[in-house]
Each structure stands twice: as C-alpha cells, then as structure tokens.
Structure 1
C-alpha cells in the first residue's frame, strides 16, 4: 500500500513537472511572439507603470554606470531626455525645459541644443504652460512615445523571459 502510494505520488509529481514545463514553454513562446509581432502591452500583462519603472531603472543604471566609470564619458542626453519625459508623463507630471535640462545630466547649453534637435526631429513637442505663460512645457510626440513604449515593453518582456528561463533552469 505504502509503495503504491509513493509510486502514485511520483507519477503525480512527474505529471506536474511536465505540465509546468509545457506552461513555461507556452509562456516563452507567447513572450517571443509578443516581441516579434508588437502585441499590445496589455496582452502580456505589462502596465504603463511597469514601463515607467523600466525607464526609471534604465536611467538609474546609467547614473550608476557613470558613477563607477567616473572620468570615462558616456554621452547620450537625448535618450536620457526621452526616458525622463516618458516617466514624468506616466506620472502625469508636466516637464519644463529647465527640468529636462537637469534630467539630461549635461550642461544646460548642451541640453538646450539637444532639446532643439529633438524638437526639430519631431520627437518632442513644446507648448506653453497653461498656468504660467512664461514657462514652456515639453512632452514626447505621439510617435516618440509609441517608439519609447515599444522599446520599454521589449525590455520588460525580455527581462521576464530571462527570469522565467532562470527559474526553469534552477528547477532542472
């Protein structure tokens, strides 16, 4: 009786392991399809908050990198600005020109040149602050927002796929 019960439990265990492997493979296939086909973020359970957190982590990682490497200069203020605009828009916070200059982590004159270039390229939009006509607010254009969202979604999906793979490998 005891031997039969142990054998039955072993069979159940093997069945559950097999089912978990199938589900993991299906989830991985679904994530890869979402990356290839640009499926909506909602389809893979990614919220705007997830995307904003991803953008904030990328910005933080860049600051840590700069701190560690010190004098070695990594220069990408346009990307820093796009990420900051994305995060602030996700929070519903307006972004002034001066605030975006600070977020770029470069001197103000350099930041202003980059803002002008981003505006010329159509990546950002400038508008008057409705509460203070002396101040200008910046936001991502619809196209830049969609592209930033696509990039961040792919980063989140790939991160989840890597985590799922690591969990799967640790069970083997």
Structure 2
C-alpha cells in the first residue's frame, strides 16, 4: 500500500495526471488501449450474435461477467452488481448465483459503496484481471476476436 501512495505522490508532485486505482492498487491499465479494443470487440461480437440467434443458445454468464469486468477495469470504471447482472444476459437470479460462485472461488471481489450501503460494486480479483489481460494479449490480430 505504501508503494501505491508513493507512486501517487510522485505523479501528483510531477504535475502528471494520477494513475487510477483498480482493485485497490495503482494501475496503468490506461496505457493498454489495444486491450480495451479487444475486450470491447469480444463483447460486441457476442451482442451481434444475439441479433441472429436466441441469447439462451449461447448463454455463458461467467464469460460475460469476466468480459464486462475486464472492460470496466481497462476503462477504469466501477461496476455495480445490478449493472453486472444486466451485462450477463441471463435472468437476475442466475447472474447473482454466478457472481456469488465466482466471488467464492476468488475470481471476483465485492466492494461496499461507502456512500450508499444498499449498493455493492464488483471487480475482478487481481489474479483474474492478470489472466484476462494475458488472454486478450494472446488474441492474434490476424484472425480477429473469437467470442
């Protein structure tokens, strides 16, 4: 934690924009716009499929949750549980069950909203984010995105 504060202090004293906190640590995810584009393309591809086939045919809430939270981390924004349920493209009870299971497995972290006790945020655990970024890096640009 001290390292994060030291990095933030250095950035502030140098007049640079501060790095954003993701999962409680200083992150330089904004320097990876190509990964944000890949994550967005995977989500768009899944949405495009739904124009031609019933969403239930390709229901994969765990993957949709991972993609949504990866894109959110790359865009340095927080995601509420209710928004994540919408992004999972399954009934809310199903999405909540997947979120709980993934959090119990250590893939996700739930965070309280300090301003509104009724609201919770969800983010990828640091190890999960690392794996998702490695996955996005591994996507061959020549073959495009597969989702």
When the two structures are superposed, what TM-score results if normalisation uses the length of structure 2? 0.72
**Cα separation, partners in 2 of 1:139 and 1:72, compared to 1, 3 Å:** closer
Is 1:52 matched with 2:42?
Answer: no
**Cα separation, partners in 2 of 1:71 and 1:109, compared to 1, 3 Å:** closer
Measure how far apart 1:91 and its partner are.
Answer: 1.4
Secondary structure, in 3 states, of the residue corresponding to 1:69?
coil
Larger radius of gyration: 1
- For 1:120 and 1:113, how far apart are their aligned partners in 2? 11
Gaps of 5+ in 1: 1-46, 164-172
The runs of 4+ residues in structure 1 deviating greater than 3 Å are none
Is 1:139 matched with 2:123?
Answer: yes
Aligned length: 114
| 8 A contact 1:48–1:90 mirrored in 2 | yes
Q: Which residue of 2 aligns with 1:129?
A: 113
When the two structures are superposed, what TM-score results if normalisation uses the length of structure 1? 0.62
Gaps of 5+ in 2: 1-30
Q: Which residue of 2 aligns with 1:76?
A: 60
Task: Select the structure that is richer in helix.
Answer: 1
| 8 A contact 2:55–2:89 mirrored in 1 | no
Is 1:92 matched with 2:76?
Answer: yes
Secondary structure, in 3 states, of the residue corresponding to 1:134?
coil
